[in-house]
Amino acid sequence: AQKITQTQPGMFVQEKEAVTLDCTYDTSDQSYGLFWYKQPSSGEMIFLIYQGSYDEQNATEGRYSLNFQKARKSANLVISASQLGDSAMYFCAMRRSNFNKFYFGSGTKLNVKP
C-alpha cells in the first residue's frame, strides 16, 4: 500500500530563516512522482514543486527545494528565507506512474514568526 507520512503536525520558523518540512513515503513502485502543495488559511491548494523518482538532481523552484533521498524514501521540502506569507499548511503527495490518484500526507502547519 502507498503511504505518505508527515511527522511534523506544526512547525515554527523565524522570518528570513530556512525551514525543512519532512515527508517520507512508502511504495514498492520504481516510478513515481512526489509533489508538495501549500494550503493557506483560505483553503486553496497551490502546487509548489515536483520531484520524479528517476530525477538525479533535487528539484528547485525559487525559494523551494526538495531534498530527495530515494534510498531513505524521503522528500523533504526546504523553504529558504521564510516570509510571513509562507504561513500555511503544507502537504506532501505522491502519484504512482500511470495511475491517477494522489496520495496525500496529513500535512504540516507552518507558522512564520516576524
Partner 1 sequence: EPEVTQTPSHQVTQMGQEVILRCVPISNHLYFYWYRQILGQKVEFLVSFYNNEISEKSEIFDDQFSVERPDGSNFTLKIRSTKLEDSAMYFCASSEFVGRGGDQPQHFGDGTRLSIL
Summarize as ranges the residues that interact with partner 1 (CB under 8 A): 31-33, 35, 37, 42-47, 50, 52-54, 91, 93-107
Residue 98 C-beta: closest distance to partner 1, Å: 7
CA dihedral 80, 41, 5, 95 (to 10 degrees): -90
**Closest by CA position to 94, among listed 85, 102, 86:** 102
Nearer to partner 1 by C-beta: 11 or 33?
33
Nearer to partner 1, 18 or 111 (CB): 111
Cell numbers linked to 24: 517520507
Q: Choose between 59 and 112: whose C-beta lies nearer to partner 1.
A: 59
Q: How far is the CB of 114 from partner 1 (least distance, A)?
A: 26
Q: The dihedral of CA 67, 75, 94, 46: what is its sign?
A: negative
